[in-house]
Every structure is written in C-alpha cells, then in structure tokens.
Amino acid sequence: MLSVQNLDKRFGGVHATRNVSIDFPDGSLTAIIGPNGAGKTTFFNLISGAFRPNSGKVIFDGQDIVGKSSLEVVRLGMTRAFQVAEIFPSLTVTEAIMATVISHLRKSWTFLRRFPVAEARTRTEEIIELLGLADKAGTLSRNLSHGDQKLLDIGLALAMEPKVLLLDEPTAGMGPDERWRMIGKVQHLWQVKKMTVLFIEHDMDIVFKIAQRIHVLKYGAVLAQGTADEIRRNQDVIDAYLGADHHLFAAVGEA
C-alpha cells in the first residue's frame, strides 16, 4: 500500500530525514517511535505532501507521490490527524464531520441543496458512532474535552475514507487511563475499517501492545525495525532510547 524508499530531507544544515526506507503492508498497524527530535513528525510531513523531500520515493497505491501537493495526496486516500487536535472550533461535531464527508464525496460546490445532506448522513453517523461521540454530536467542537477533540480530529480524517491513516501521537496530552481508551479506539477502528494505519507514539506499553510492526527513528534515520519482541530485545534501541538504563526498559516492556 505504502512504501517509502531512500527518503531524504534537509532543512538548511539540519539533516532531518536520512535515507529512510520502510514498507507498510496493506492493512497493517505500524508504530513509528523514537526519541524527541528523531524526525517522526517530519517523516509524516514528507509522506503527506506537506514538505517535499530532497530525494527518495514515496510509493502510494502503486504511484510515486513525491511532488504532489498535500491536497492531491489527501484525495488519493491518505489522511492524517495531528499531534495538537486540528478541528473547526465553531462547528458542531456533526457539522464538521458532515462537511468533511461532503468534501470526500466531492460535493463541496453544491449550491442548490441544503445542509445537512441526506447521502452524507449515514456516513457521518457511522463515524460519530465509531468514535463514541454520539452524545456530543451537537456540541460545538471548541467546547469538547481535550480527548474528545483528539477523537474528532481522527474522525475528520476518517470521513475521507482513507486507505492510509497517519496519526501523530493520538494519545498526546492524556492521562494514563485516557491513553488506553484512546488507543483502544484506534485499534478498534483499524480492525473495523481494515485501513493501513501509521501512528507515532511515545508510550512504550501502548506501542508494544498494539503495533504489528515498529520502526524506530533516531536522528532522522531508521535505527531498527521489527515486531514488538524484536524491538524490545534490540540492543541499539535500548541504548538509544534509554541510555544505560536497561532494566527500566525491560521492566516497562514486560509490564
């Protein structure tokens, strides 16, 4: 579905992404991890068309999408949610999701019909149901709790019926319980929708628990990749991530 080949990006003197090659199989759930400043968000920006890489290929659904604008990439079927929820403050949950569904249906230029539009309704309700926001459907987005705003952000991305969904730290800024609820929902909708999901995450427990494959970035380069067990035992990762504090890492891994 998605394959990144020799991706490279420099910002002036900063080498943010170094020769990264990763395959994301169809329908996989993959975690991107790495210490702060490892270039995880930059990696998302490169594949989603926000930045243009200096070299390398991003093969999405059989074609190289390097050079395409973020709008074109979205329309090809790759959407993203953001680390800080990017929502529409003055619209209700239903309005925001329905307007997005309409955008997906390419009906944004419809003048002669009225909102809400019948053929977008089923899909809108389905997404709201899937996220568990049904009792807040009529709430203004700006009045939602932090966690619900993050959910809505994901819901907006879902409304585009993506083939590939990029989630930048879906659990950022949440307490431990809320994190597990959130990631449970992510896992659930991955199973239901059978999409390819990439997510950036800091919480090792979460990563080891749900990710099929894990890719570790450090200084913009791939340090290690593999299953949870492989990563947990990888000495490079242990060194890079936690310095000498191996025991803590092992303990966290087994918890």
Q: Which is nearer to another protein, 40 or 80 (CB)?
A: 80
| Shortest distance (Å) from residue 242 CB to another protein | 31
Nearest distance from C-beta of residue 169 to another protein, angstroms: 16
**What does the binding site for another protein look like in residue numbers (CB under 8 A)?**
48, 70-71, 74-75, 79-80, 82, 86-91, 95-96, 98-100, 102-104, 107-118, 156-157, 159-160
CA distance 4 to 30: 14
Query: Which amino acid belongs to residue 211?
Result: A
Indicate the SS3 state at residue 34: coil
Minimum gap (Å) between residue 122 Cβ and another protein: 14
* Pick 79 or 196: Cβ nearer another protein: 79
Distance separating alpha carbons of residues 41 and 202, to the nearest angstrom: 12
Q: Residue 213 Cβ, how far from another protein at the closest point, in Å?
A: 25
Which C-beta is closer to another protein: that of 93 or that of 216?
93
Min separation Cβ 182 and another protein, Å: 19
Residue 118 vs 255, nearer CB to another protein:
118
Q: Residues 6 or more apart from 138 whose CB is under 8 A from it?
A: 92, 93, 94
* DSSP annotation string for 51-105: S--SEEEEEETTEE-TT--HHHHHHHTEEEE-SS----TTSBHHHHHHHHHHHHT
Cis peptide before 35 (omega within 30 of 0): no
Q: Which is nearer to another protein, 91 or 250 (CB)?
A: 91
